[in-house]
Amino acid sequence: MDIFPSLVNNLVNAGLVKGMTTVMQQSVGFIELSEACIKCLEKVVQENPPAVLKSGAIAVVLDQLAFFV
């Protein structure tokens, strides 16, 4: 996503954010996977913030915050 910033909108339209939210919900305890999803969400937020808000990803990230503390 760093190389092709326009790719973010195409991935969001394909359902990337909702899919990552589902993966994060099902993979509670896998810190590396959650961290990778959060980094990807950070890139998506820079290009398309409404997609992250609509998907409910913020709630999932906050739920998993205990694993990172």
Question: Could you read off the pLDDT of 10-59 as tens digits, one per residue?
Answer: 888 898 899 989 988 888 778 888 888 889 999 899 888 999 999 999 99
User: Is the residue at 21 inside a domain?
Assistant: yes
User: Is the residue at 15 inside a domain?
Assistant: yes
Residue 32 pLDDT? 87
With bands split at pLDDT 50, 70 and 90, how would you rate the model's confidence at 65?
Answer: confident
Residue 28 pLDDT? 77
Picking from 60, 55, 56, 52, the residue whose alpha carbon sits closest to that of residue 25 is 60
pLDDT of 69 above 80: no
Please count the structural domains in the chain.
1
User: Is the residue at 49 inside a domain?
Assistant: yes
User: Is the residue at 1 inside a domain?
Assistant: no
User: Is the residue at 27 inside a domain?
Assistant: yes
Neighbours of 69 (CB within 10 A): 4
Contact 44, 8 (CB under 8 A): yes
Residue 53 pLDDT? 92
Domain interval for residue 32: 7-68
DSSP 27: T
pLDDT of 1 above 80: no
